[in-house]
Amino acid sequence: MNFDALGQYIATSPLVWLLLTLGSFKLGIIIYEKFNKNTLLQPIIISYFVIMSALLITGTSYKEYFKSVEIIHFFLGPATVALALPLYNNLTHVKSLFFPIVITLLVAGVFSIVLAVSLLWLLGAELPTILSMTTKSITAPIAIITSEQIGAIPSLAVGFVVITGIIGALLGTSIFKMLKIKHDTSKGFALGVISHGIGTARAIEISEKAAAFSALAMGLSGIVTAIFLPIIIQFFK
């Protein structure tokens, strides 16, 4: 068998990468359910390692991979909009907590960005890397567009988004237990603000109420960041 030809075909065929992405996520779901939904075995984590291994083995760049699975990226938008359903079902509860939601969104959003940026600056990171970190807590489609506007590196920004989401999904439940947080609204909103879509997937497993507040936090955080971050960055340039 000509392994070089096979590797070249895998690296250049969009269908192969599309099937690998869908298949690896399905594998992640099977493993996740088989091990009683262990937090360390989130489907996104399994698929992430499978895809990253394949990219490294074949020498395929992220840009080439992303181009092959653009159809999945397209459906991220409709999938995000679909999260409005649990939000609609809990609309009355959301309205009753309007001011706490606004205050929490602003404080948590600003603190999260400032803390991450400060750490990178202290470690001597370059400006494009620091800018890429500012979009770490918003969903990938918005992060890509926003990172391009502020002069960051889109691929690196997406990497930070994925890592942030995974960390939030992994540690969120343990942190809630440690801090004795019992309200699903608080759990959901925290996961949405910090860990966007991946955190929201974890919130769905908690309850519909947690999913609603996580979807709300993710949406509001993305909107606020997309509008004001480019303005703030431009002001400091």
Output the DSSP codes for 33-97.
HHTTT-GGG-HHHHHHHHHHHHHHHHT--HHHHHHHTHHHHHHHHHHHHHTHHHHHHTHHHHHHT
Residues 86, 120, single domain; the answer is yes
Q: Is residue 74 part of a domain?
A: no
Q: Is residue 22 part of a domain?
A: yes
Rounded Cα–Cα distance for residues 161 and 113 (Å): 12
Residues 115, 62, single domain; the answer is no
Residues 205, 95, single domain; the answer is yes
Q: How high is the pLDDT of residue 12?
A: 62
Domain boundary among the residues 22, 49, 68 is at: 68
Residues 40, 117, single domain; the answer is no
Q: Compute how many other C-beta atoms are within 10 angstroms of the C-beta atom of residue 59.
A: 10
Residues 120, 231, single domain; the answer is yes
> For the chain, which ranges sit under pLDDT 50?
none
Residues 124, 173, single domain; the answer is yes
Over the range 84-107, which residues count as b (16 or more CB within 10 Å of their CB) and which as e? eebbeebeeebeeeeeebeebbee
Residues 150, 107, single domain; the answer is yes
Q: How high is the pLDDT of residue 140?
A: 78
pTM of the predicted structure, to 2 decimals: 0.76
Q: Is residue 73 part of a domain?
A: no
**What domain range is 230 assigned to?**
79-236
Q: How high is the pLDDT of residue 30?
A: 92
Q: How high is the pLDDT of residue 23?
A: 93
Q: How high is the pLDDT of residue 125?
A: 85
Q: How many domains does the chain have?
A: 2
Residues 166, 136, single domain; the answer is yes
- Closest of 187, 222, 197 to residue 109, by C-alpha: 222
59: left (phi over 0), alpha (psi -120 to 50) or beta: left
Domain boundary among the residues 16, 35, 68 is at: 68
174: left (phi over 0), alpha (psi -120 to 50) or beta: alpha
